[in-house]
Amino acid sequence: MAEPLNILLVEDNDVDVDMLRRSLKKIDATGNLVRAKDGREALDILAGHAGNATLPHPFVILLDINMPRMNGHEFLASLRSDPDIADSRVIVFTTSDNPKDVALAYGKNAVGYVVKPDTSVELREALKTIWDFWDRCTHPPTKSIH
């Protein structure tokens, strides 16, 4: 892989975070994983106001929809309205298969929408697909995230 898969994981469920970390290890993904428990914390990380939580470039955001304080749709709206981070690549990674959620996410320029798999094998396959996609992409020039 030419570029590491640096991930900002916006996820409130600790079990899902642990499963994702293990799956990334099993597929030998390189890169960093930075976690935010909701949309507000993710915006703080992207703005450089989260202390030692630094997000290396290039990065992708894996975004849950159903979270406290600021859900995924609210996060996407805020992200897209900030010119410094509006072009961030977001893949929605959620349990919701509601067509309204799908339409809202793509309406805010999500690059993908993945319903969380039921098994660890399916999770690894989904992450491997994301990783392969990431490897094929030409990434935009690096901007500094504080």
Mean pLDDT value across residues 65-92: 94
Question: What gap in Å lies between CA 120 and CA 20, rounded to an integer?
Answer: 9
Integer Cα distance of 96 and 115 in angstroms:
6
**Does residue 131 register a pLDDT over 60?**
yes
Report pLDDT for 40.
94
The reported pLDDT for the residue numbered 144 is 45
pLDDT at 125 (0 to 100) = 92
Q: What is the CA radius of gyration of the chain?
A: 14
Whole-angstrom Cα distance, residue 114 to residue 53?
25
What pLDDT score was predicted for residue 146? 44
In the chain, where the domains are located: 1-17+27-64+84-94
Does this model's pTM top 0.95? Answer: no
Residue 68: pLDDT over 70? yes
Mean pLDDT of the chain: 88
- Which has more confidence, 20 or 53? 20
pLDDT value, residue 1: 45
